Chains A and B, each alone.
Chain A
């Protein structure tokens, strides 16, 4: 359960960083992180790798599968929820 929670947090962060890297007109994201920088881009690569390593160390093989299944679930949830937080006038249609 702890691994699952950690992975959700890490994947959420990774997806938010990915959204932040996109140009403003493509972004359906009400969360305003600081402008995309080199640090953010390197974090975007590092965070999933850290997640994978820590999941394996904490739960072994089960952790690897947990890592793989958490990615689409958090991504889809964020993809659906974030644009709903934006007022319809601001959302790109």
Chain B
């Protein structure tokens, strides 16, 4: 490779990678959390965790929950009823508020509401991953551009490393100089995760581009066509115990299970939708009273459903989902190490320069503040959001509004903190360590000790503790480096 080409590739890799890295870190982090959206919902609402042994869905529970759905639909709320599953063993009578899914949890055996307040829940991270909580189409545009930048950065990185790809595949030198260590970590993760990251990035870009195309040229409907919500406003579907029981029986017969499926208005009738985990390609089959049999499923009806299956992995088993989540976190580590390397090289350039203008100083401060807010501010705001769901809401604020505002305000404060002081990273690391390490204590204090889902709480607390420990170790290493 000629030195000119190498320089050009490095410039591309660094200057596309750093700004896109801010969004890509957010996408990788929230994507990892979105893998366990129902579990996060369960952690945030410990009142819905039930006592051991977990009760199963009963006929009484199903009919009572169906009655509650009818009441909601009669009131004019476009609600749907999610059927209990091993991942979320309660009925969820949810509606979409434009950002997240909200609504009461109902006991699987009685169908009566369980005592717990609404929380932002796991769907908050799903929306953050899908649209960054920005109005359409801005969220989709930013994510598509960030995804394309990821693909370019991966390809330029691969090209730069091509000659040493195989010999340096597992090379990490923990005793080398600081910058060398970060570069080794970046290359180790980047080369080994390259295929996985490329597939995740490509599928994400395809999905977001399809959304954008759909927004830019919406499908044409014949005159008089009503959308699902418009239809709901004009007609409420008939819901009776016979319809519900028949639909569940047909669902069990055709799909083998209805766990994780849901009841929702489809046309002028009530439909039972198949669980998302049924096939690799996402297919929304629904059974209704007039059409109790679905067509034999095709392998993958559309390209969109194939990429949804590839990107969301809703069909996957627990271990695969854990590893997928871990791959997302490894993506965070690669992007994070890349951002740190960018800062270090900018710092080196600055020390070699003789005269630096105020604008150049401010620009460097800007890079540092954005890196701090991305790498530390986002996990900090996430942990604070988790804490806020377990602590009382101040004043008469709605809990959901309070939790969402706390998340975004803390994140913005982290950025502001980065601008104000050079010690921001150290102080935020300390706070992150404190919050992460004490999450288990908070969890044990604010939920019944004996619950039907000890693994869920243990895993979530364990993850928070890991974040706390990593922050603590980084904090000590930073202190050692400065003394």
Contact = CB atoms under 8 A, between A and B. Distances in A.
Contacts of A65: 313, 316, 320, 323-324
Interface in B275-293: 280
B193 interface: yes
B319 interface: yes
Nearest to B310: A65
B243 to A, nearest CB: 34
A59 interface: yes
Contacts of B192: 71-72, 75-76, 79
A26 B171 contact: yes
Contacts of A88: 175
Given A75-B192, A76-B192, A61 B280 contact: yes
Interface string B154-174: 000000000000111111111
Interface string A49-66: 000000000010110011
A70 B319 CA distance: 10
Interface in B187-223: 188-189, 192-193, 195-196
Interface string A8-30: 00000001001100100010100
B280 A76 contact: no
Contacts of B170: 15, 18-19, 28, 75, 78-79, 82
A84 B192 CA distance: 19
Q: Is the interface of B mostly helix, strand, loop or mixed?
A: loop
Contacts of A28: 170-173
Nearest to B170: A79
B188 A80 contact: yes
B195 A83 contact: no
Given A62-B316, A72-B330, A80 B172 contact: yes
Nearest to B318: A1
Contact of B175 (A15, A76, A82, A91): A91
A93 B180 contact: yes
A68 B169 contact: no
A69 B172 contact: no
A69 B317 contact: no
B38 to A, nearest CB: 18
Contacts of B171: 26, 28, 79
Q: Is the interface of A mostly helix, strand, loop or mixed?
A: helix
Nearest to B323: A69
A45 interface: no
A88 to B, nearest CB: 4
Contacts of B176: 93
B326 interface: yes
B327 interface: yes
Contact of B319 (A1, A15, A19, A79): A1
Given A75-B192, A76-B192, A69 B327 contact: yes
B319 to A, nearest CB: 5
A68 B196 contact: yes
Contact of B317 (A19, A59, A72, A80): A59
A10 B414 CA distance: 44
A21 B167 CA distance: 9
B175 A69 contact: no
A66 B189 contact: no
B173 A76 contact: no
B173 A91 contact: yes
B189 A83 contact: no
Given A69-B327, A80-B174, A93-B175, A75 B169 contact: yes
B330 A76 contact: yes
A92 interface: yes
Q: Which interface residue of B192, B280, B320 has the most chain A CB atoms within 10 A?
A: B320
B319 A66 contact: yes
A73 interface: yes
Nearest to B280: A61
B181 to A, nearest CB: 10
A23 B338 CA distance: 28
Nearest to B193: A72
A13 to B, nearest CB: 13
A20 to B, nearest CB: 11
Given A91-B174, A93-B175, A18 B180 contact: no
Contacts of B188: 75-76, 79-80
22 contacts: A19-B170, A22-B167, A65-B323, A66-B323, A68-B195, A69-B323, A69-B324, A69-B327, A73-B323, A73-B326, A75-B169, A75-B192, A76-B193, A79-B170, A79-B171, A79-B188, A80-B174, A80-B188, A83-B174, A84-B174, A91-B175, A93-B176
Given A69-B196, A69-B320, 7 more contacts: A68-B196, A72-B327, A83-B173, A83-B174, A93-B173, A93-B175, A93-B180
Interface of A: 1, 3-4, 15, 18-19, 22, 26, 28, 59, 61-62, 65-66, 68-73, 75-76, 78-80, 82-84, 88, 91-93
Please list the 5 inter-chain residue pairs (A to B) with the smallest Cβ-Cβ separation, ordered nearest first.
A69-B323, A72-B192, A79-B170, A93-B176, A75-B192
